């Protein structure tokens, strides 16, 4: 048996290198500062089931979305990786296409912080309505109602 040293980040993620752990915590704090720009609201069963949505102000959600993608551009836009050009989505009026692809990217990389942010950014449709699931952002129910005035 060989003893090892590991480092635990604040979300209980384990790393074998102190620098990797510190980089991960910095990454989480950066993502948190981006999604902190987006209003929080109580989540209930109707929200998760697609019967309600939260209507965002485009002046708030668009800058947060752009900050998110600009930050990701520095992480994932590597010429050796085959990801779409993340910068194409920055500054566009229409929000995100291929929402499930982004979800899979963050899942495959174990990027918990980006997955959390994706629940806000990726679940927001072209009309700036945030849904409880990615599916409803793509196929919004016609009879859903806003949960905010």
Q: CA-CA distances (angstroms) from residue 20 to 71, 102, 146?
A: 18, 23, 42
Handedness of CA 126, 130, 134, 135 (dihedral sign): negative
Residue 108's pLDDT band (cuts 50, 70, 90):
confident
Q: How far apart are CA 114 and CA 133, in angstroms?
A: 15
Give the mean model confidence (pLDDT) for residues 122-137.
89
| Contact partners, residue 87, CB within 8 Å, separation at least 6 | 69, 70, 73, 77
Give the pTM: 0.78
pLDDT in tens, 16-64: 999 999 999 999 999 999 999 999 888 889 999 999 999 999 899 889 9
Annotated domain spans of the chain: 41-146
Which of 49, 42, 44 is closest to 140 using CA atoms? 49
- At residue 92, the pLDDT reads 57
Give percent of the chain above pLDDT 70: 85
pLDDT in tens, 67-93: 888 888 777 765 555 555 555 555 555
């Amino acid at each position: 048996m060989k003893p090892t040293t590991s480092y635990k980040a604040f979300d209980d993620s384990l790393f074998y290198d102190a620098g990797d752990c510190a980089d991960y915590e910095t990454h989480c704090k950066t993502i948190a500062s981006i999604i902190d720009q987006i209003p929080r609201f109580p989540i209930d069963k109707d929200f998760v089931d697609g019967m309600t949505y939260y209507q965002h102000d485009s002046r708030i959600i668009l800058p947060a979305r752009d900050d998110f993608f600009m930050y990701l551009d520095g992480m994932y836009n590597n010429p050796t990786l085959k990801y779409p050009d993340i910068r194409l989505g920055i500054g566009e009026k229409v929000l995100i296409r291929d929402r499930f692809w982004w979800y899979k990217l963050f899942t495959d990389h174990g990027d918990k912080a980006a997955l959390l942010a994706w629940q806000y950014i990726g679940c927001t449709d072209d009309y700036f309505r945030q849904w409880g699931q990615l599916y409803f952002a793509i196929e919004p129910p016609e009879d859903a109602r806003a949960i905010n005035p």
